[in-house]
A and B are shown apart, each in its own frame.
Chain A
Amino acid sequence: MPKLFLLGIDGLPRWMWQQFADSGVMPHSRSLLSSGTLVPMKSSLPEVSSAAWASIVTGENSGGHNVFGFTDLIDGSYTLAFTSSRTFRAKPFWAHEGAGPSLIMNVPQTYPAQPMQGMLVSGFVALDLRRAVHPPEELEWLQSINYAVDADMSLVEKGKRVFVEELHRVMAARCQALHHHWNRQPWQNMMFVLTGTDRLNHYLWEDYEDQSSPFHQTFLDYYHEVDVQIGRILERLDDNVTIAAVSDHGFARQSCSVNVNCLLAQAGYLALKPSDRPSYIDMLPETRAFAMDPGRIYLHREGRYPKGLVTGDSAETLMQELTRFFLDVRVSGMPVVSEVKRGKDVYSGPFAHRAPDLILMPAGDVALSGRMNLSELVEQTRINGKHTFTESSFFVRGNNIGQIPSDMKVENVLDVIQPKQVASRRAA
């Protein structure tokens, strides 16, 4: 069975990777990309990292792995819980029988670390490193190098320079950890995800686009350092290893962030009782629909939620009404939603019944959020880059790979890079 190295570069658009490879910002990538195939890939719906990485490592859509976003309400309650390895219900490729020893580092949705054959360090959201490491005895060494699962976002408040320094620090420790553990034994599978790229894109996208910005070069320098790390990895891989590199979504400019729950409240679909820190438990029974990040719309259905009153008979009418509402709604004269998808059309699998009823695709430069704090329709934020559904990256090079679909999606990654394993699992 060919060995696998799966590199994740969170939020790196296909076109940007090619652009940086061609322009010399990422020279190692240039030689890598020329040795294999790079295609654009579609992300999960919605285009959030948690759901997309879950699809990449399981080959399922959200209906199959049960990760629809970073958050979800616990069934039959209004408890807003964060998706984790406990709620992640499909097996990642390293957990299947016969997968062999694997080194898995920084893959989102793997916290808390679950027992597996090999070593795993969870990716975000993993706020306690002590429970993010398997086997646990590896924790002490990681702590000794100040390994961090993620950068401290609050450093953005201290300025972009400080923030990017933090991203470099986190990446350096992560790469040090990769090479340290790489040496320990011959791994069958390795997966390593860099997430600083996504954080950089969120907060410095405006500097990437504005070549006169003092932080434009800072942006390029970070990608150059990513490329240096790609070069160090490539040096250690031979032709017998299937090399794949993926991102979970694309990226684009964000000019504003609109809170969908504000729209729903203004239109009378959502009603909250007064609260200093509103949450889903504050929804009143007259609520007919609510949103969760980024643009997941749930009907407040009877039987699904404790106070829900929307009946099955009225659901279709309500969904049609909401679809028209979202397509028509304007904020500052601008459209907010470009398309409304139906959950039942998008998801398949044993958890499809937990899916949102509608998924909003944001229009133009607009980003969507689903916060319950309704104080701001257009939210004040330093974020100026947003995810896109299209144009994530999929690269592969190897001798035993499957065919790349013309409409490549995140849930197809394993079909291409581990075709035999996927086929044998499906046959079983």
Chain B
Amino acid sequence: MSETSSCHNAGQTCWSCPAVEFKGHVDFRACGQAAFRKAAQGQLVVECRRRPEIGYFDPMSITYESCSEWKKTENGYLLDGMRVLILGMDGYLGWPLALKLAKLGCKVYGIDNMLRRKLVAERGAQSVTPIQSMQDRIEAARKHLGVDIEFREIDLMDRDALFAFIKEVQPESIVQFAEIPSAPYSMADVDKAVATINNNVVGTLGLLFGVRDHAPDASIIKLGTMGEYGSPLTGRPLFEGLFPGDAVLQYKGQEWSLGGELTPRDPVSFYHVSKVQGTFSVYEACKYWWLRSYDVMQGVIYGNYSDELVAHSDLNTRFDIDEWWGTVVNRFVAQAIIGMPLTIYGSGNQMRGYITLRDAMQCITRLIAAPPEPGQYDVVNQVTDVFSVMQIAKMVAQIGREFGLDVEVQRIENPRVEAEEHPYEVIHEKLTDRFGFQSESAFADEVRHLFRVLSQPEARNRILAQRDTLFPKTRWSGEHGKLAVLETWKPAA
């Protein structure tokens, strides 16, 4: 990591620091009258909860680099012992993030209702890599990494318990991962669609009120998805959530600036609808209440490597491969391991953005380290590569051959309602340009690591035990019946 990229937030000031409390505005040209609304004009006045001896001060006059409370780490300056609350800490992303942040010196708190474990089990599936109970995970983290993590089993929908915990913890950053993350699950039947919308939309909305009332200076890292944008057939670039300043709408001979407006959303399932609604809720809360948030439009995530996870198998994060809970790269590797054809929906030319678990954790950490200013809502496209599903299948098959596997690829009837041929131009510049992100993992290396892990006997047996859950059954149309196989072949070496 270069010196420059590790210090992306060196020049940020106390105005974006969650340890600082807004006190008012003064105008010393007129003897210091105070205005207590953040929207007012005048010299900003803040106090630091950590360094009260400074008294009132201009938040622009201290940078993270010059503040004794911010410590330099490989992911930029981090507020020493920053209190980070991870909602959904038991999940695929939540647990590795907890380990990474704790290792970096954050005080990590987490909640989860353990729903994911229940839903996966109900599906007849399981994590391919065995995972411990939360109690044992925390003990393993203490033993193998020397970190303390605090956890409460709280449902995001239990607002009384959630708010009480927020009040108790006084988080300086809140990571919202506590959502049901499956498109096919949300399309399976009415109960699952409603459960997804309820948890994701209503849960996030409730959270925003809790932050407003109990931790208004905490930055909110909200996990969205690239699927919120859809794949516009016009080829319009997928900007990072907001139109750039020079974007213009032309209509009937007139022009209007679009700069700063939310870009169009075209979700591709009720799960994605829930994510879009979450985006609007967060966007509005930042506007109404001066909350602050980064909305992370994450590409399809894959892999199971992080420096902390590999310290011991008791620290495993969950790794799902079934139709509902697995993501495409992870599923393809699992299929390849057990000699099952890699299932491509329709033409396989659907383009998507991708990112490894390891890179995603770095991105989220860098966002936590560089909080938005009060009232600021911003969006990042958390993507490193863009591939078609067909490309991925071919690359996985190719790498599978390195492990002695003779991998087949199979096109099947597309269970989804989606464009199969479409342009796809993803803008993903902010994380690298503004947050110093540099990818630490390449597609092929990560897939090789997966082959190594999943070809272990226990993992292979766990894949075989849930073989029936791998082939897709959930149709967006609501129709039932086995999806037709259109074509099966072995990609050329």
Contact = CB atoms under 8 A, between A and B. Distances in A.
Interface in A279-295: 279-281, 293-294
A14 interface: no
Contacts of A371: 43
B29 A84 contact: no
A278 B227 CA distance: 39
B63 A153 contact: no
A29 B27 CA distance: 31
A83 B304 CA distance: 53
Contact of B34 (A77, A81, A153, A257): A153
A206 interface: no
A371 B27 CA distance: 11
A203 B34 contact: no
Given A152-B34, A152-B35, A154-B40, A79 B57 contact: yes
Given A74-B54, A154-B25, A82 B60 contact: no
A125 B34 contact: yes
A235 to B, nearest CB: 29
Interface string A362-392: 0000010101000000010101000000000
A198 B31 contact: yes
Contacts of A81: 54-58
A369 B29 contact: yes
A149 interface: yes
Interface residues of A, number: 51
B329 to A, nearest CB: 40
Interface residues of B, number: 33
A125 B58 CA distance: 13
Contacts of B23: 127-128
B42 interface: yes
Nearest to B51: A79
A184 interface: no
A153 B29 contact: no
A253 interface: no
Interface string B26-69: 11111111111100111101000000011111101111001000
Contacts of A78: 61, 66
A280 B61 contact: yes
B35 A80 contact: no
A80 B45 contact: no
B32 A79 contact: no
Interface in A31-84: 48-50, 69-71, 73-74, 77-82, 84
A176 B27 CA distance: 27
A303 B42 CA distance: 31
A151 interface: yes
A261 interface: no
B292 to A, nearest CB: 16
Contacts of B30: 153, 198-199, 202-203, 383
Given A82-B56, A278-B60, A77 B66 contact: yes
A108 B27 CA distance: 15
A400 interface: no
Interface in B95-136: none
A281 B45 contact: no
Contacts of A74: 54, 57
A10 B30 CA distance: 12
Contacts of A369: 29
Contacts of B66: 77-78, 281
Contact of A82 (B31, B36, B41, B45): B45
A256 B382 CA distance: 50
A179 interface: no
Contact of A79 (B26, B33, B45, B62): B62
B31 A80 contact: no
12 contacts: A50-B32, A79-B61, A80-B57, A81-B58, A125-B32, A125-B34, A127-B23, A151-B33, A153-B26, A154-B41, A281-B63, A381-B29
Q: Which 7 A-B pairs have the closest CB atoms?
A: A153-B33, A279-B60, A80-B58, A154-B35, A82-B56, A80-B61, A279-B61
Interface of A: 10-11, 48-50, 69-71, 73-74, 77-82, 84, 86-87, 108, 124-125, 127-128, 149-154, 157, 195, 198-199, 202-203, 257, 275, 277-281, 293-294, 367, 369, 371, 379, 381, 383
Given A152-B33, A198-B31, 7 more contacts: A77-B66, A151-B33, A152-B35, A153-B42, A278-B60, A369-B29, A379-B29
